[in-house]
Structure 1
């Protein structure tokens, strides 16, 4: 039975890393374990082959393998959102089609980096991807990586097609959901793409967050979202503030810091793929200190054990 994305594209959704082994191959066993951990935490979906997944360094075959593994592991218990990350429209289309063939529930397409397309170019890029797949498309706007943002006016033109169901908003503009919601279809979802402002984004009308820190503390992130929705903003704000040192570490050296943090918890190797290199010792110590700052309240499973 088809469930519209509006029913599950909400709350905290982790942007999963892609584990690598010592031979630089994708570690599917570790990846499957990361998927199972998120299922156990009750989060509604997972994002694979995107920013934290080092998508730009994965071959199309590797991406398809990761997506198929995610689909096989989750068996419909959560939704799988697959990145179609490329600054070449033809390659993004190929990745979207491979994701659909692999069984993904939606694709996430990002504003092309490096090319710096004008707004008309972004419009044509996203429309071409949506026209090449039957899957719903989630837009990803992340100006810190692409330099040119997805303009509000371009977003409004895109959502004239119901193929576009949501936005991963990495702009850190917490006013965007409230500013645009009345102009968009009722089922369109706004999710923050920035952990540092994720609480404020949700409190100001956002529907959730695509999150790196949710990889580490999925239960806590689900609690924060639930408390915001219940109007318990003071409690949610307190928990989010306790996570801020860790969020700071993750944002400075993504995804190397995320992988190191998960390795501290014994969940996966800290191995990255060039041009990303493992975290420096000084930065590793910062992550450990960030863990120690929240271990006293046992906010993250495994910390302090």
Structure 2
């Protein structure tokens, strides 16, 4: 009975703590959503915490009438899809080669790759390399530099090593080459880790803005997060967006409500996709822990 009472007390405390933690996590989202749907002048009075006091869609009209939003969506979606697929396949291919004991110079390649995790040439040499490769102010600057990740390669390599060698030998006896073995044998068997690393890459590409800020100048290459950052940091959002609405409608929104509307619009896509990818993430982590 004593043990049962302690367990009940622990359960109650645990559930209370998790509930409070969940509310603390959700409240900033609720606060931003409520502010984005509130009328601008009324929001400036304060006191809008959970629900909009005076409902208005004016801030969303401003955001959706801004052409930079659609350009940012297109660039972000394009770099997320293309960058994720190419990075996962290229990194997995390198990891497959590194997992083969017959690869000549495998240890040297491994330590050279591992050294790049601890030492870097710095931002200026990196910029000069991209400049000499003619990648500046180009969409490829989002794709080519991210094709290979040493960290992800190590994860793939550890997973590939756990695949029974007998499967590889059997495929080799049947006349399959390395490319065919990689594509038709290793890739199907590695879907959990592929989905996990793919989700990491997709979230990174979707949230990335620093590379666009440094290596591109054209607004046609501006991803959604860079557009959002500029909108949040603009000294006078109303000046930048007033051309999209008539003067009589200016009172329906404010700098803060427009910023909140932009945050909501940019966050909704990843919030919709993440729950469907979460199960792959959990599966990949569980498989990795079991195989470790």
Shorter chain as denominator, the TM-score bin is: under 0.3
Greater relative contact order (Cα 8 A, min sep 6): structure 1 or 2?
2
Greater helix proportion: 2
Greater strand proportion: 1
Q: TM-score, normalized by length of structure 1?
A: 0.24
Bigger CA radius of gyration? 2
